């Protein structure tokens, strides 16, 4: 993820990936803006990353931590993931002005 985010701006492709949920319903998914956010974070544009999706900053920080620490096991709390996705979705709904 980190390597792709670093070289992605140098690849001549359309900017961004179309979200299927947003394309069909007009409602953004919790992950909308993650590609933009991760790319901005790896280029130290934290304001742009936060504006796109704050979870991208956390994803890059987590990836860096995992590269350095290399834990044998990774435990993820399902309730914590559910709360994080709900928070991400509320952020995106607010960002796109959907009430």
Q: Does the global pTM surpass 0.85?
A: no
In this prediction, the residues of the chain whose per-residue pLDDT falls under 70 are 13-17
Share the mean pLDDT of the chain: 87
- Maximum separation of any 2 CA atoms in the chain, in Å: 42
**Alpha carbon distance 2, 59 (integer Å):** 10
CA end-to-end span of the chain, whole Å?
32
Helices (H), 8-97: 20-25, 34-42, 46-52, 55-69, 78-95
Residue-level pLDDT at 41: 93
7 CB-near residues (< 8 Å, 6+ apart): none
> Half-sphere exposure of residue 31, counting CA atoms within 13 Å on the CB side?
10
């Amino acid at each position: 993820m980190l390597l792709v985010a670093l070289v992605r701006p140098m690849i001549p492709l359309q900017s961004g990936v179309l979200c299927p949920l947003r394309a069909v319903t007009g409602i953004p998914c919790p992950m909308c803006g993650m590609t933009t956010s991760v790319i901005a974070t790896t280029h130290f544009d934290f304001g742009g990353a936060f504006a796109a999706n704050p979870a991208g900053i956390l994803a890059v920080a987590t990836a860096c931590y995992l590269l350095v620490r290399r834990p044998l096991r990774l435990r993820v709390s399902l309730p914590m993931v559910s709360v994080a996705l709900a928070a991400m979705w509320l952020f995106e709904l607010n960002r796109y002005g959907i009430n």
